[in-house]
Amino acid sequence: MRAPKDKPKVERAVQYVRGNFWAGETFATLEQVQDAVTRWCADRAGMRIHGSTQARPAELFAQAEAQVLLPVPPVYDVPVFNRVKVHRDLHVEVGKALYSVPGSYLGRDLDARADRALVKLYDSGKLVRIHPRQEPGGRSTDPADIPTGKAGYALQDLDLLVVKAAGHGPSIGAYAAQILDDPRPWARMRAVYRLLGLVRRYGADPVETACAMARIDWCVSQRQLGVISGEVGAGKTVAVRAALAGLEPSRHQVIYIPDPTITMRGIHTRIVTALGRTPAFFSGVLASQTATLPAGELDERAGLPGVVIDEAHLLTNTDLEALRMLSNSDMDTGSHFAMLLIGQPTLRRRLKLAVLSALDQRISTRYTITGMNAADTSDYIRQHLKFAGRSDPLFSDDAIQAIHLASRGYPRAVNNLAVAALIATYAADKAIVDLAAAAQSAITENSE
């Protein structure tokens, strides 16, 4: 041990190393420094005759000092301190894991101290709870922390959470179920809480639409089979196009087939051609080529092919079965491409037939596009008028209501009736589309 008066002697070693090792040397990497200083200590610094001891430092260390050295202490466990908030599930998040606290602390901010073994939670210096440290994604819950009325909400009642989400819309419920489809679903419950918060803030309709778009994106990215159905003019193709527009072009290749009546050979040819190959002449070889090429695209270029078949209700049962067989190329262990079938409601009903049960069981994403409600129809018409440069009310409220009822909220029918009503208004030399003349005459003409 050294005393304070020996401080200059201790620091003298720093000057010696600086002047005898570093002086005139240049090192490019840390490894070079470590290698050079190891050799310098062994060959030069350790073998010189020390001015005070008149002995070689390396020999003196081996003879007298090495035997009295204490063991190297373990690495100090440096704790991590955080300020955390108690969320609605009566848990706080520390190191991407969840830890429960008593219900009286709901909404409060606590201080968290986490080391390798324990997580301690404090409120103004008072110890609130101690938990064993969990891996990221883990959860430690003391049942005594959860009030009786909130047990189903806080203790991982996933089914209750999905049912609550589905009450706002089928796509919201399906999206919540996909979020919780995880080996540790409780670690993702807060994402569902945020989803329900969006419903409270913006309403169910816009969130339902956003969830439908997200489900289409998920279907393509996970190489699944999806079915998008809706009445004529409901906007099925537009919705799918909007969802696919958000995909990364360098990673996803969308193969769009607008007319499925070109037969299965035509569909196979279209897929093979889009993937940059020459279609085989014989139908059997062409079908095998279609099934194997997406796997090569995925393995060689990390590309994710996606096949979109519009007007899929025109496919025969045999054609639908042939499409199912395309996913069997790898002994049913997984699909190498995504497929979206877009069609009228008859497609959705046909898939429930026993003859197509094998295909029906492979469908991971289903979405039915319905008509807009009255408020959405009004916003839809006014938004189109803004695009046309008109900010003033060109349609009366009763005219919009009549157009909504006649069109059942389907965008294409709304477009046709609105255009016809505008023409009738112009012919009558009026400035506003009203119900008495323009809107009613447009509805009558389009219904005949």
pLDDT by residue for the chain (448 residues), tens only, comes to 557 777 777 777 888 888 888 888 888 899 998 998 899 888 888 888 888 888 888 888 888 888 888 888 888 888 999 999 988 778 899 988 889 898 888 888 999 999 989 999 999 999 999 999 998 878 888 878 876 655 545 445 677 778 888 887 777 777 787 777 766 666 677 778 878 888 887 777 777 777 777 777 777 777 778 888 888 887 777 777 777 776 676 677 788 888 888 888 888 888 888 877 888 888 778 877 777 777 665 555 556 777 888 888 888 888 888 888 776 665 555 567 778 888 888 888 888 888 888 888 888 777 777 788 888 788 888 888 888 888 777 888 888 888 888 888 888 888 888 888 888 888 878 777 777 666 677 777 666 5
Containing 225, the helix (H) or strand (E) segment is strand 225-230
**CA 104/CA 145 separation, integer angstroms:** 9
String of DSSP letters for 297-349 = HHHHH--EEEEEETTGGGS-HHHHHHHHHGGGTTTTS--SSEEEEEE-HHHHH
Instruction: Report pTM.
Output: 0.55
